[in-house]
Amino acid sequence: MDPQNTEPKVLLSRAKTFRLHTGNLVNRSRMKKKCPCSTSEELRDCIQATMTDWVSMKKAASPDFPDVLDCSLPEATDAITPEEREELKVSVKLFLCEAGLSAIRDAVDLACQTLAVSQLDSVIIAPPPPLEADQSLAHLQPAWEQLEALVRSQKIAAIGTSDLDKDLLEQLYNWAQVKPSSNQVNLASCCVMPPDLTAFAKEFDIQLLTHSDPKELMSAETFLEAMRDGAQDQSIADWRLEWVLRYSVIVKSRGIFKSKGYLVSAKRVEP
């Protein structure tokens, strides 16, 4: 870190919430050169690179120390114009690292604000891992109710799930007021779609998608390590990852990515 530019370090030491936006990874030359082996590795590289660029930016001295610290690069953001909105599909996967329900609305609101849209076309939820070995409907219900409220307020058009087997997907479908439109299946643990899941999804018009995201997207130590490396400040230790939102914007008629990136939120650990 430039010794003459200590403001980022001071801001980090004073803020209570930390928000990071990687910018559009389609256009960021630094990230395009990377070939990550996994989603976790890609996210770690993105956090580190964004922190490095943000810290290196010259900042005018300010007497204000915001509670919510925005770590983003304005020139790296690719907002959607009203003229092109109809031609684009905005899809999101939200990874909750802890059980705070306000995080869902906060993440959706930030995604809409960042991309300059009033509604996300689809949101897939990945709740925090359950305390017990097996996931249950009770574990999913609070998050799903938050998503349903966002559908009713027209912030989201369609909502989906991740890694549900046939029995749990059926339980959710029968209970939910807003039905799941999709369910992601991790092919690392399931090379072929289970026949019972395929049959149920077909009967109730639920799209089955595949993914390769790990159950734990990023460990607490890996997150702190990425922040430390990016800020060149080994004293960073009191931040807890709250949620990670991955978005993709696809041109419908051509099936190509216009933009993709991550939004990350962390909370300061209270002593």
Calculate the average pLDDT of the chain.
Answer: 87
C-alpha angle 44-39-43 in degrees, rounded to nearest 5: 25
Q: How far is CA 258 from the centre of its chain?
A: 17
DSSP three-state, residue 206: coil
Reported as a single tens digit per residue, the pLDDT across 230-254 is: 988 888 888 999 999 999 999 999 9
As a whole number, mean pLDDT of residues 19-44 equals: 78
Give the sign of the dihedral formed by CA 39, CA 42, CA 46, CA 47: positive
What does the pLDDT read at residue 90? 97
| β-bridge mates for residue 158, sequence order | 122
pLDDT digits (tens, 9 = 90+) for 123-161: 999 988 776 666 789 989 999 999 999 999 999 999 999
- pLDDT score at 36: 58
0.85 exceeded by pTM: yes
| Strand ranges (E), 17-61 | 17-21
